[in-house]
Structure 1
Amino acid sequence: MKRKPRTRAVLAGGLAVAALGTFAAGVGVAQSGGKDGRQATAAAKDDRRAKAGEREIAGLFDRWNAALVSGDPERVTELYAEDAVLLPTASPRIRTNHAEITDYFEHFLQKKPRGEKVRSVIHVLDRNSAIDAGLYRFHLTDPKTGVTKAVDARYTYAYEKRDGTWLIVNHHSSVLPAEG
């Protein structure tokens, strides 16, 4: 029985990447298996590496959320590259440096945010860049009333590994619109 070559493509394209402005073009990775067992073994290793990379990128949200819960705006800002762009959920202003990002989090953290991912789509572009996009829910507490409410939002994080550390280079978050 002749096996058809198996092809798997991972593409970082479309509107999300175009909107980021960080990545000029999508990256495609194709794998094909053949008769040779070495190719199958190499493909299996690549799959394991890709899954490990996705887990590592998924864990970056947990690191960011822990910084939020700490209440320390500097701790949150340290997770962003010096030249990062933040399009935040609760502000109309684009933040393009650490001072502006810290300013945003000084105000946002007053609501004692706690985030949780609802749905995540991760694309590991290469060893030093990845995108995580999806939906998350924030639990925010009104500082005046103490009432906590949930706010659903969509997000995109673009990460780059710089000097061995994953940093956020682009973060977009916006309130999830109603259906229709």
Structure 2
Amino acid sequence: MKRQTLNRAALAAGGAVLAAGTLTTGISVAAPEHHKPHAGHGHTDRSSKPSKKQIAALFDGWNRALQSGDSRKVAARYASDAVLLPTASPQIRTTHAQIVDYFNHFLKNKPAGEKIRTIVNVLDSDSAIDTGVYEFHVTDPKTGRKSTVEARYTYEYEKRGGKWLIVNHHSLVLPAAG
């Protein structure tokens, strides 16, 4: 079976990156009704599937890496073949070096954030999607001016070698109400 994937344009972080990871609303999940295992993985045991809360918590680990100020720690949360469509750059990042480069620049803003709403879909024991809205609290490195950016996000995770990694991350500034 072909693995389900995200709309790569639906992942956006609105010009900033999150750090606090506080959920201000409950986790709502619309899990697919029909689950099929990945090819070669055999039967999917529902009990081996991660919980929605476990998947939502992966973001908290990413935020802690972000708060470290170390772009390599943040990039280590991404698979080697990950795609990053970042909030604060028009460039699609498809290599580890490009992801590190993005965070080298982004972390200068001392991003801190919080999830506002999250929707988790656990696809099977090795893949899940976390999508929603978050805010980034950033500080302009030149002026010291603080601001908040609200963004939509999508993280697609895969469990590889026993470790959950981001395979697709899309973040986009939330458009003005229209």
TM-score by length of 1: 0.75
Unaligned runs of 5+ in 2: 10-30, 36-45
Partner of 2:34: 29
Q: Which has the higher helix share?
A: 1
Contact 2:32/2:121, CA 8 A, preserved across alignment: no
3-state SS of 2:6 partner: helix
Partner of 1:169: 167
Report the residue type matching 1:75 in the other structure. Answer: K
Write the deviation string for residues 37-93 of structure 1: whole angstroms up to 9, x where unpaired: xxxxxxxxx6x876x511110111100011111100000000000000000000000
Measured in 2, the distance between the counterparts of 1:167 and 1:175 equals 23
Write the deviation string for residues 82-111 of structure 1: whole angstroms up to 9, x where unpaired: 000000000000000100000000000000
Query: 1:109 aligned to 107, 110, 114, which one?
Result: 107
Partner of 1:17: 6
Measured in 2, the distance between the counterparts of 1:178 and 1:139 equals 18
Query: 1:79 aligned to 77, 80, 90, which one?
Result: 77
Shift of 1:18: 3.7
Contact 2:85/2:170, CA 8 A, preserved across alignment: yes
Write the deviation string for residues 17-53 of structure 1: whole angstroms up to 9, x where unpaired: 2447xxxxx95338xxxxxxxxxxxxxxx6x876x51
* Identity level (%): 58
3-state SS of 1:75 partner: helix
Shift of 1:140: 0.4
Report the residue type matching 2:170 in the other structure. Answer: H
Structure 1 outlier segments of 4+, above 3 Å: none
Whether 1:158 aligns to 2:147 is no
Report the residue type matching 1:169 in the other structure. Answer: V
Whether 1:89 aligns to 2:87 is yes
Compare CA radii of gyration and give the structure with the larger one: 1
Describe how 1:49-68 pairs up with structure 2 within 5 A: 53-68=51-66
Measured in 2, the distance between the counterparts of 1:147 and 1:84 equals 32
TM-score by length of 2: 0.76
Contact 2:118/2:132, CA 8 A, preserved across alignment: yes
Whether 1:131 aligns to 2:120 is no
Shift of 1:129: 0.2
Measured in 2, the distance between the counterparts of 1:72 and 1:174 equals 22
Unaligned runs of 5+ in 1: 1-11, 21-25, 31-45
Aligned pair count reads 146
